[in-house]
Amino acid sequence: MSINEIHNQKILELIQSNKCDLSNANISELDTNILNYKNIEELILSENKITVLPKDIGKLNNLKWLVLSDNLLSKIPSSICELINLEGLFLSGNNLTKIPKNIISLKKLKWLALSENNNLVLDTSQKSWIEDLRLNGCKILY
């Protein structure tokens, strides 16, 4: 089965289960057609070669888990801040130097992973936000 066939099979599974696991699928670019599946709750894209996310990823407003660990991301689109139902955000093991300032609007997080982004710099409000999340029981890897 080719990568495209696997990818298409996973998209079909997405329609039925609200979950899409494309981890370790050798993906370098996320197909923007995934943004058409507004009901998706879990998007798992870890251990790929993704360098850029679609700028409209925030349109997946039912998303609860977004796993982007171990990719090649150097930045995250600001629309990620629109994912107000997000409970898990995993960004570890990328090349991030900063995250969007408005990420502090994500108040429902139970898991946040930012580790292994060696050049990541957070501003004061983001550090405060992380501490507030921690005090409210969020598991933080930083």
Question: For the segment 64-100, what is each residue's pLDDT rounded down to a tens digit?
Answer: 999 999 999 999 999 999 999 999 999 999 999 999 9
Task: Tell me the whole-structure pTM to 2 decimals.
Answer: 0.88
Long-range contacts of 5-9 (CB under 8 A, 24+ apart): 7/31
- What's the CATH code of the domain at 118? 3.80.10.10
Range of the domain at 134: 3-141
Q: How far apart are CA 123 and CA 99, in angstroms?
A: 9
* Residues whose CB falls within 8 Å of the CB of residue 118, separated by 6 or more in sequence, listed in order: none
Q: How many domains does the chain have?
A: 1
Which of these, 12, 29, 93, 108, lies nearest to 62 by C-alpha position?
108
3-state secondary structure of 13: helix
